[in-house]
Amino acid sequence: MNRLLIAILAVLSLTMPLSGIGAPDETQKQLMQRSQEAKKKLAAAQAAQGADRQKMMQEHMQLMDGVMTQMQKAKPRAGMKPEQMREWIDEHMKLMEQLMGQMMDEHHMLMQGSR
């Protein structure tokens, strides 16, 4: 019985610290979702013409502005272990790269429209 209890506690002690590592936190999940919404809006704008295109571009820019504002305010939670902090930073950097890619696509689209 004691060996079983010790084995269970050992397994739990090994798996519990890992449960917080490797997954984005709730704020990052929301930001990813909003980033995907903005990406869909940009794709729709690329396929649209005229006033519809302009409207969708404006909506995309508003979504991106909101995401960027949230990204600037996002902070890792207090008490994170170094490896958890690294994971949080990695997720934040991935989000930043996605947003930069969208902004570049948006910029190229706007530049093509001005020619």
Q: Could you read off the pLDDT of 58-81 as tens digits, one per residue?
A: 999 999 999 999 999 999 989 999
Query: How high does pLDDT run on average in the chain?
Result: 83
Q: Is the predicted pLDDT of residue 22 greater than 70, yes or no?
A: no
**How high is the pLDDT of residue 112?**
83
Domain assignment of residue 65, yes or no: yes
For residues 9-28, give the mean pLDDT: 60
State the total domains in the chain.
1
Q: What is the CATH number of the domain that holds 33?
A: 1.20.58
Domain assignment of residue 92, yes or no: yes
**How high is the pLDDT of residue 18?**
43
Domain assignment of residue 3, yes or no: no
In whole angstroms, give the CA distance from residue 1 to residue 94. Answer: 47
**How high is the pLDDT of residue 111?**
87
pTM listed for this prediction: 0.69
**How high is the pLDDT of residue 24?**
78
- Domain range for 68 is 22-114
The backbone region for 71, taken as left when phi is positive above 0, alpha when psi lies in -120 to 50, beta otherwise, is alpha
Q: Could you read off the pLDDT of 40-61 as tens digits, one per residue?
A: 999 999 999 999 999 999 999 9
Q: Which of 105, 103, 111, 46 is nearest to 71 (CA)?
A: 103
**How high is the pLDDT of residue 1?**
59
